[in-house]
Structure 1
Amino acid sequence: MKKIILLLFITFSTSIFAQKNYFVKKGAVARGYDVVAYFNNEAKQGSKEISTEYDGVNFYFSSEENRKKFKQNPMQYLPQYGGFCAYAMGVKGSKVSINPETFEIREGKLYLFYNRGNTNTLDLWTKEGADELKTKADKNWKKITKKK
Structure 2
Amino acid sequence: MPASSSSVLFRLGRVAAVVAVAALLPLAPALAVDEHFVKDGGAAGGVDVVAYHTVGQPTPGSAQFTAEYQGQTWKFATAANRDLFVASPAKYAPAYGGWCSAGASKGKKVATMPQFWAIVDGQLYLNSTEGAHKGLFLADTQTVIRKGEANWKTIYATKADKL
Both structures adopt the same fold (TM-score exceeding 0.5): yes
Q: Relative to structure 1, is the Cα distance of residues 46 and 107 closer, same or farther in structure 2, using a 3 angstrom cutoff?
A: same
Alignment partners' CA distance in 2, 1:61 and 1:82:
17
1:92-111, aligned counterparts within 5 Å? 92-111=106-125
In 2, are the aligned partners of 1:84 and 1:98 still within 8 Å (CA)? Answer: yes
Alignment partners' CA distance in 2, 1:58 and 1:140:
25
User: Residue 137 of structure 1 is aligned with which of 114, 127, 148?
Assistant: 148
Q: Segments of 4+ in structure 1 off by > 6 A?
A: none
Q: CA RMSD in A?
A: 1.7
Aligned to 1:126: 138
Alignment partners' CA distance in 1, 2:58 and 2:157:
31
Instruction: Flag the structure with larger Rg.
Output: 2
Q: Unaligned 5+ residue runs, structure 1?
A: 1-16
Shift of 1:71: 0.5
Alignment identity in percent?
34
In 1, are the aligned partners of 2:96 and 2:156 still within 8 Å (CA)? Answer: no
Q: Unaligned 5+ residue runs, structure 2?
A: 1-31, 159-163
TM-score normalised according to structure 2 size: 0.73
Structure showing the higher strand proportion among its residues: 1
Aligned to 1:25: 39
TM-score normalised according to structure 1 size: 0.80
1:55-94, aligned counterparts within 5 Å? 55-90=70-105, 92-94=106-108
